[in-house]
Amino acid sequence: MMLLAVSILSTLVIGAIGLASGRDSLEKAAFDQLVSVRESRHREIERTFDEIRSAVLLDSRNSSTVDASRRFNAAFAELQGETLPPDADSVVAAYYDDTFIPQLEERTQKTSDAAAFVPDSNAQRYLQYYYTAPFTDFDEAIKLDDAEDGSAWSEAHAKYHGYFREMTLQLGYEDALMLDTKGNVVYSAYSGVDLGTNVLSGPYAGGALTTAFQNSLRANVVDAVELTDFDRYQPSLGTPTAWAVSPIGDAGEITGALAVQLPIATINDVMTGSEGWKAEGLGNTGEVYLAGPDKTMRSASRLLIEHPDRFIDQVVSAGVSPQIAERAVAVNGTILLLPVDTTAVNEALRGQTGTAIATGYDGQEALVAYEPLDIEGVQWAIVAKIDSAEAFQPVSDFTRNVLLSIAGIVLAVCLLSLLLAQVFTRPVRGLVGAVRRVAAGETGIEVDASSRDEFGDLGAAFNDMSRNLQLKADLIEAQRMENEKLLHTLMPENVARRYREGEETIAEDHQDVSVVFADLVGTDAYFASHDSAEALAAVNGLVLGFDAAAAKLGIERVRTLRDGYLASCGLLVPRVDNVRRALDFAIEMRQVVQRFNSANGTSLDVRIGVDAGTVTSGLVGRENVAYDMWGDAVNIANAVRGASASPGIYVSDRVQSRLRDAYGFEQTDSDVDGTAVWRWVAEESRA
């Protein structure tokens, strides 16, 4: 390793000097190229917005627009008192329910309530009945010149719509609106659901359009143009929408405002160079994009356009949520959607201009050139980027030559190092063998630790570890034995063995088994009058007495509760006299309780039911298993126990018929499933 380190270090020093020199030169050239492209796009996007501003300003001031504004304003006011067709409300409501809301929900992936958008004014319902509701496609709605309803508004629409339609289509606007001074949308080129609404008080109020409209009228001059940032506009199905708004009028009067939706396609064409990235020197990964103050894109992503299949994986790996990435692919757009919270964007939004090597929005290291975009009305950042791997591709050739030289030197030194390594690794082999024996399960393994060097220290540390492992193995074995003992207190040994072997369903049927089902009478009052710990200790003492009696008579305890005890005879060990043993155990249980009463001055008693017959035993539960017994004999034993509220020993017909010659019984007034219940009588016990 020392020989390798000296050789590699000297080679790396020489290679690092060459790499640094080459990288610096290439970085400068790459950054210069990026800055040049950024400046070019900056000038072009500013020119595009200037052209839009000029076009909107000219359109809002020409006589046709001023005349149209006056005509539409007056006609719209008349429609407030116009009589609606009988089916107007139902047709418009059906349009929202069946066309607009489904389209809006599909586009936004959010649930919307049609009641929030249905027109609330007479004029709005009138216009949407004739110009909006008949169409399911906005591209079809813009073709209609006259609904031939005979209204003054339709006359104005027939006269001026052709002009505004051509303006909208030729300039690529997403829509063009005319508003009166009260904020009513008196005209829409595409006759969308915003036709007739009020941007100040209607369902779409409060957005960027509302602010721009108010600012344009507040300026009180006809040569003002308000530009807005992108905002989601519900009438356009929630797509990102930016506006240019200018007052309509002449020197004497402002009649309203002209609002056009900025053409997203035009902005994307400028920022992508009409998707000619390579022609502008941006290679396979370079691009220029816009970002807004919310740190999301304001133009298209090259990665999404060229490689939608890779887009999701890359941006998700960079920290974008899968839902946003999938949504961007679904709508084929990134405006207001794709986060670009990068160093370049943050610096540009703070007003800084510069270059850097930083992580891009796709998670790749990139060369970036950034600056703020100076357009009145918006605060955007413009960023040019190209992946470092592509920008520094020429460095790879030089790096390869250096690495080949290093590899040759390392190979020669490695051969010598292999010979020397044999001397140093001999003690390690012994330690490796010992480790493998420990890994195989052996304990108490030790190695020679007599050498006075690092290998001796390592051997001593291994021996300490081995002894600790032996100690822990002993503790684990002791714990296992304790667990085994605890398991045998919860279930019989043969059931515990099957449970340890992994059986999940353990159940056995037994044909001739006696069942003893007992409950203590008076425990509730006892617990209420004594401390909880003291009362529980007393009950535990009773249970210990029951367990001792069970062991003496060959009775198998199944489970115990605070005031209950379930046992059997003949379940695990078949016994021909299981019925007699069961009754003797029941009698002994009463004697245990009586002795407890005498010693403690209490008045507890026990009510016991005994039956014999078929039962099933097994484990119940998955996470918290419990050994239990059930079946006909258990049910009847429980039933005869509950046949009377008085303490005592109660048996079924089957038990009485088998023991009536040896014990005394008296028939009770109760029966179980049509058979008599018998009570054991102490005065007539066996002779």
Amino acid letter, 90: S
pLDDT band at 128 (very low <50, low <70, confident <90, very high): very high
Give the pLDDT of residue 686: 43
C-alpha span between 555 and 570 (Å, rounded): 8
Q: What is the pLDDT of residues 263-306, one digit of tens each?
A: 898 999 999 989 899 888 888 999 999 999 999 999 999 999 99
Give the pLDDT of residue 486: 60
Percentage of residues of the chain with pLDDT beyond 70: 91
Is it the case that residue 365 has pLDDT exceeding 70? yes
Determine the average pLDDT of the residues in 586-604.
90
Q: What is the pLDDT of residues 304-337, one digit of tens each?
A: 999 999 999 999 999 999 999 999 999 999 999 9
Give the pLDDT of residue 687: 42
pLDDT averaged over every residue in the chain: 86
Q: In this structure, are strands 675-680 and 648-651 parallel, antiparallel, or unpaired?
A: antiparallel
Q: What is the pLDDT of residues 376-386, one digit of tens each?
A: 878 999 999 99
Q: What is the dihedral of CA 475, 477, 478, 483, to 10 degrees?
A: 120
Q: What is the pLDDT of residues 524-553, one digit of tens each?
A: 888 888 888 888 888 888 889 989 999 999
Is it the case that residue 681 has pLDDT exceeding 80? yes
Of 54 and 399, the one with more pLDDT = 54
Determine the average pLDDT of the residues in 633-638.
88
Is it the case that residue 394 has pLDDT exceeding 80? no
Contacts for 630-637: CB closer than 8 Å, 24+ residues apart: 633/513, 633/514, 633/515, 634/515, 634/517, 634/566, 636/515, 636/609, 636/611, 636/672, 636/673, 637/515, 637/516, 637/517, 637/609, 637/610, 637/611
Determine the average pLDDT of the residues in 675-679.
88
Q: What is the pLDDT of residues 478-510, one digit of tens each?
A: 777 766 666 555 566 667 677 776 676 677 888
Give the pLDDT of residue 483: 63
Domains of the chain and CATH, by start: 25-47+266-391 (3.30.450.20), 62-262 (3.30.450.20), 504-684 (3.30.70.1230)
Determine the average pLDDT of the residues in 115-123.
90
Out of 480-494, 532-546, 622-636, 650-664, pick the least confident.
480-494
Give the pLDDT of residue 588: 93
pLDDT band at 191 (very low <50, low <70, confident <90, very high): very high
| Positive/negative CA dihedral, 329, 333, 339, 340 | positive
Contacts for 655 with CB less than 8 Å, ≥ 6 apart: 514, 579, 582, 583, 610, 611, 612, 678
Determine the average pLDDT of the residues in 173-183.
94
Give the pLDDT of residue 19: 67
Beta-bridge partners for 183:
none
User: 324 in helix, strand or coil?
Assistant: helix
Give the pLDDT of residue 685: 45
Give the pLDDT of residue 485: 61
Give the pLDDT of residue 526: 83
Q: What is the pLDDT of residues 433-482, one digit of tens each?
A: 777 777 777 777 777 767 777 777 777 777 778 778 777 777 777 777 76
C-alpha span between 380 and 351 (Å, rounded): 10
Determine the average pLDDT of the residues in 636-650.
88
Is it the case that residue 85 has pLDDT exceeding 80? yes
